[in-house]
Amino acid sequence: MKTIIIIAGPTAAGKTAKAIEVAQHFNTAVISADSRQCYREISIGTAKPSPQELQTVPHYFINSHSIQEEVNAGLYEKLALDYAAEVWKDNDVAVMCGGTGLYIKAFTEGIDNIPAAPPEVRQSIQERYEQEGMSWLQQEVQEKDPGFYAIAEIQNPHRLIRALEVLYATGQSITTFRTGNVVKRDFNIIKTAITLPKEKLHDNIARRVQVMVAEGLLDEVRAVLPYREHNALQTVGYKEVFDYLDGKISWEEAVEQIIIHTRQYAKRQLTWFRKDPAFTWFESGTGLLEEVVERIKNSNDFR
Where is the binding site for substrate, in residues? 11-16
Tell me which residue of 277, 288, 262, 291 sits closest to 99, measured CA to CA: 262
Can you say which residues are annotated as belonging to the binding site?
9-16
SS3 96: strand
Stretch (H or E) spanning 157: helix 157-170
Please answer whether residues 167 and 146 qualify as being in contact, where contact means their C-beta atoms are separated by less than 8 angstroms: no
Alpha-carbon span 242 to 271, nearest angstrom: 28
Rounded to whole angstroms, what are the CA distances from 266 to 8, 99, 145, 256, 269? 12, 9, 28, 16, 5
- Residue 24 contacts residue 57 (beta carbons within 8 Å): yes
CB contact at 8 A, 130 and 233: no
Best CA proximity match to 25, nearest among 219, 227, 288, 299: 288
8, β-bridge pairs: 193
Half-sphere exposure of 51 (CA within 13 A, CB side): 1
Question: Is 109 in contact with 81 (CB distance < 8 Å)?
Answer: no
User: Nearest 5°: CA angle at 71, between 93 and 123?
Assistant: 160
* Contact by Cβ (8 Å): 258, 237: yes
Report the binding-site residues for ATP: 9-16
With vertex at residue 63, the alpha carbon angle to CA 190 and CA 164, rounded to the nearest 5 degrees, is 80
